[in-house]
Chains A and B, each alone.
Chain A
Amino acid sequence: MRRLTDILAPLVLIIALLGAWEAACRILEVPAYFLPAPSAVAASLWADAPTLAASAYNTLAMALAALVLASLSAQALALMVALSPILERAIKPLAVVLQVTPVVAIAPLVVIWAGIDNPERAIIALAALVAFFPIFSGAITGLKAADPDLERLFDLYGAGRVKRLVRLRLPSAVPFLLEGHKVAAGLALIGAVVAEFVAGSGGAQGLAWRILEAGNRLQTARMFAALVVLGLMGALLYAGLARLERSGLRWWRGR
């Protein structure tokens, strides 16, 4: 019963809002370039489905590539930092500076480095940069989050640094890593879209480009259609990773 209302309540609200929107557009005769009616957006979704699907695939592929890149580099760096306190002190200020610098501000530079002909490389790099920090800080926190009494137990039996890392700190970090990846996946998608906007070229053919293109042509219904696809993709990605986190935690905890 609760599940049913959980699904029905938002559905009813969405339908009501769409109905009001549709009615307002028709009664007030709002020009389609300014605010298209939901029916027009739906028509555009249907008509442009192949292009939108291809673009969604491109954006998703770039976001996922960025996530993999961020995951590998963040975890590798966190591991090195965990093994060397000096390295941690050296890296931390740099990491903070990089983190607080808006990705939009770095984007033009990365576009130049990646080469004008390779916008997707620039986009992946920028999205990876955004996705890097939640995983990196999750890993750093997690590697230090081992139960202090378990640490004492490892002291007691004379475990060395590597054994302690493999048998205690890495497993203790798992919940933090899962959480970090969940947050990073959302950020990777946002990063991919923002980076494509900034790259400003059609080379990568992602959803952001569809929005830009439709905007320039005042095809507002198409802009909305692309937004709908983007929103759905983001929600699905988040739901997928939340599920992955849950089952990961279940595996880790054994229930």
Chain B
Amino acid sequence: MEPFVAELAKVEVEYPGSGLALGPVDLALSPGEITALVGPSGCGKSTALRLLAGLEGPTRGQVRRTARRGESAVVFQAPTLAPWLSARDNVALPLELSGLARREARTRAEAALARVGLAGAAGARPAQLSGGMAMRVSLARALVTEPRLLLLDEPFAALDEITRRALADDVLRLWAETRPAIVFVTHSVEEAVYMASRVVVFSRGPGRIAGEMSVAGPTLRPEGFRTTAGFRATVEAVSTVLARGMEAPA
């Protein structure tokens, strides 16, 4: 097995007119690992995600990826579904773009929808779905290609707390089926610690890695995990590093 799915090596990103946005940053993602990126707004964590996805290139440094095109998938902050397509056709889209025949793509799309618990909503349009359901369709669309690298950019930010928690468990359950490497960006320290085995804290101006913490415990969190002393302690530790990063000079 390859040692990493994607790696940022001394990566820096500079936007014209606004100076250095990110870096230098070193970050390697092992196969099957769940990594959370937390940090204040504008710390470059979403930029790091886009670099890992190959949607953006670095100004300096190197991005190495063993996941080929079509082997990584992204879930954005909004469900980003095409309003004119049914849930089934939205999920089938990545397969069709990769050249799969429509019939086969649809069959696999329906299976992916079933995996996220939406077998009955295959024919519905995005406008007919609730926020949580739309996000699940978006998740199914990312999973349908069975990616080795799954990137989630604040995927639950727009949802209520109950739906967020349900979706977090869904993601972990789905992860257990094919074990892709997952990277997700979040503002919520609790969510990061709950979902990830490794939490990377970013600081601002320019975005750098301020600290890194591993989270103990089984990846599929048992009931009541949020109330355990270990969970609380890790949340505190991450919050402390986060607070220190926010004090860093801009």
Inter-chain contact B97/A157, CB cutoff 8 Å: yes
Inter-chain contact A159/B128, CB cutoff 8 Å: no
Inter-chain contact B125/A253, CB cutoff 8 Å: yes
Select one of B50, B86, B97, B126 contacting A158, CB under 8 A. Answer: B97
Where chain B touches its partner, the secondary structure class is loop
Nearest-neighbor residue (CB-CB) of A254 within chain B: B125
Please classify how large the interface on chain A is, using the bins under 10, 10 to 19, 20 to 34, 35 or more: 20 to 34
Inter-chain contact B125/A167, CB cutoff 8 Å: no
Select one of A155, A157, A159, A171 contacting B82, CB under 8 A. Answer: A171
Inter-chain contact B69/A158, CB cutoff 8 Å: yes
Inter-chain contact A155/B55, CB cutoff 8 Å: yes
Select one of A152, A159, A167 contacting B74, CB under 8 A. Answer: A152
Inter-chain contact A171/B84, CB cutoff 8 Å: yes
**A252, B127: Cα distance in complex, Å:** 10
Q: Taking the complex as formed, is B66 at the interface, i.e. its CB lies under 8 A from any CB of chain A?
A: no
List B contacts of A255 (CB < 8 A).
125, 127-128
The verdict on A149 contacting B78 (CB below 8 Å), with A155-B55, A171-B84 known, is yes
Inter-chain contact B55/A254, CB cutoff 8 Å: no
The count of chain B contact residues (Cβ–Cβ below 8 Å) is 28
Inter-chain contact B84/A153, CB cutoff 8 Å: no
Inter-chain contact A254/B128, CB cutoff 8 Å: yes
Inter-chain contact B84/A159, CB cutoff 8 Å: no
The verdict on A156 contacting B127 (CB below 8 Å), with A171-B82, A174-B84 known, is no
When each residue 147-170 of chain A gets 1 if its CB lies under 8 Å from chain B and 0 otherwise, what string results? 101101111111100010001100
List A contacts of B53 (CB < 8 A).
156
**A184, B69: Cα distance in complex, Å:** 43
Inter-chain contact A158/B70, CB cutoff 8 Å: yes
Nearest-neighbor residue (CB-CB) of A171 within chain B: B84
Inter-chain contact A252/B83, CB cutoff 8 Å: yes
Where chain A touches its partner, the secondary structure class is helix
List residues of B (111-139) whose CB comes within 8 Å of A's CBs. 124-128
Inter-chain contact B72/A156, CB cutoff 8 Å: yes
Q: Taking the complex as formed, is B8 at the interface, i.e. its CB lies under 8 A from any CB of chain A?
A: no
Select one of B73, B76, B97 contacting A149, CB under 8 A. Answer: B76
**A254, B82: Cα distance in complex, Å:** 11
Nearest-neighbor residue (CB-CB) of B96 within chain A: A167
Select one of A155, A167, A254 contacting B83, CB under 8 A. Answer: A254
**A157, B128: Cα distance in complex, Å:** 26
List A contacts of B55 (CB < 8 A).
152, 155-156
The verdict on A157 contacting B84 (CB below 8 Å), with A253-B125, A254-B127 known, is no
List B contacts of A156 (CB < 8 A).
53-55, 69, 72-74, 94
Inter-chain contact B70/A252, CB cutoff 8 Å: no
**A252, B84: Cα distance in complex, Å:** 5
Inter-chain contact A253/B127, CB cutoff 8 Å: yes
Closest chain-B Cβ to A6's Cβ sits at a distance in Å of 27
List residues of A (122-177) whose CB comes within 8 Å of B's CBs. 147, 149-150, 152-159, 163, 167-168, 171-172, 174
Inter-chain contact A153/B74, CB cutoff 8 Å: yes
7 A-B pairs with C-beta separation under 8 A: A149-B76, A152-B74, A153-B74, A156-B74, A158-B70, A158-B97, A171-B82
Q: A149-B78, A158-B97 are in contact. List 7 more A-B contacts (CB 8 A).
A: A150-B80, A157-B70, A157-B97, A159-B97, A167-B96, A171-B82, A254-B127
